[in-house]
Amino acid sequence: MLPMLQVTGLSAGFEDVPVLDGVSMTATPGSTVAIVGPNGAGKSTLLKAVYGLARVRSGRVVFRRDGAEHDITGWPPHRLTALGLNYVPQTDNVFAALSVRENLLLGATARPRQALARMERLLVEFGPLRTVLDRPAGALSGGQRQSLAVARALMSEPVLLLLDEPSAGLAPSAVGTVFGHLARLRSEGLTIVIVEQNARLVLARADNAYVLEGGRNRYEGPGPELLQDARVVELYLGGGAHATTPATPAAADQ
């Protein structure tokens, strides 16, 4: 099966600061792909570069949907949203001054048809948001904000969702709620690329995972396997796990 998202040799950064140095990755339709690695590895930048928020200097990003192939390298976000991608930033990811309802409707800007019906459907899954619809999003708790940010992204009916550290700064119970949403979205067939600081949490759930270090690919493999890989555990997970089976270090430094 051809990948839905295919990143090849991507070098990108901000202004004149290069961050990514030839990173490659793919996500097949319906899979959950984790991007892990130490601080400053370029995980978030990878998502931003795919979503047109970082400056791409070389490399290619290809998106496939319904048999059509789009070279989306360097496209601006609103065109990507219309094509079926969406991205949830790590922080500052709701419009604090707008009501929850307006936040949701805003998510449908790129696909305005039947936005209200879609919002109603989403409010079945994101029940707690219904009770705060008319409150400004700035008044929500951290967990509610994260739910709102994900729900807003879903308002554009994406087939590929890019998530930047959805667990950052959340209380453990809220982390559970957010990952519950993700499990459901995955079962509904959404393709997810997720960056997480909490690598254990995400590797256990990822069909495939990439370990980045210093802006380059380091390891890749099925999530649970990487979780068992002694070197990965030692390097990025702080040791202490029952690392027994060494997994394949696919596509290490190129």
Partner 1 sequence: MSELPQLIVDGLVSGAVLAIAAVGVSLVYGILHLVNFAHGDYLTFGAYAGLGVTALGLSMVVATVVAVAATAALAVGLQLVLWGPVRRRRAGLLSSFITAIGLALVLRHAIFLVVGAGSRAYPVDQFSVERLGPVRVSISQLIAISLSIVAIAVIGVLLARTSIGRSMRAFADNPELAAVAGVDVGRIVLATWLVAGALAGLAGELQGLIQGAFDPNMGWNLLLPIFAAVVLGTIGNAYGALLGGFVLGLVMELSTWSVLGGGIPASYKYVVAFLALILMLLVRPQGLLGRRARAL
Q: Which residues bind partner 1 (CB under 8 A)?
A: 51, 53, 76-78, 81-82, 86-87, 89, 92-98, 102, 105-107, 109-112, 136, 138, 152-153, 156
How many angstroms separate the CA atoms of 203 and 241, rounded?
A: 13
How many angstroms separate the CA atoms of 118 and 122, rounded?
A: 6
Instruction: Rank residues 53 and 62 by Cβ distance to partner 1 and give the closer one.
Output: 53
- Could you identify the residue written with the tokens 């892990």? 36
Burial (0-12, 13-18, 19+ Cβ within 10 Å), 131: exposed
From edge to edge, which strands make up the β-sheet containing 191-195?
85-88, 160-164, 191-195, 32-36, 208-213, 216-221
Give min distance, CB of 61 to partner 1, in A. 16
Instruction: Rank residues 138 and 176 by Cβ distance to partner 1 and give the closer one.
Output: 138
Give min distance, CB of 252 to partner 1, in A. 32
How many angstroms separate the CA atoms of 156 and 169, rounded?
A: 26
Instruction: Rank residues 160 and 211 by Cβ distance to partner 1 and give the closer one.
Output: 160
Instruction: Rank residues 123 and 151 by Cβ distance to partner 1 and give the closer one.
Output: 151
Give the number of other CB atoms < 10 A from CB of residue 113.
8
Instruction: Rank residues 95 and 200 by Cβ distance to partner 1 and give the closer one.
Output: 95
How many angstroms separate the CA atoms of 33 and 150, rounded?
A: 17
Nearest to 196 by CA among 34, 28, 20: 34
Give min distance, CB of 26 to partner 1, in A. 23
Give min distance, CB of 241 to partner 1, in A. 35
Give min distance, CB of 87 to partner 1, in A. 6
How many angstroms separate the CA atoms of 198 and 166, rounded?
A: 10
Instruction: Rank residues 113 and 242 by Cβ distance to partner 1 and give the closer one.
Output: 113
Give min distance, CB of 103 to partner 1, in A. 8
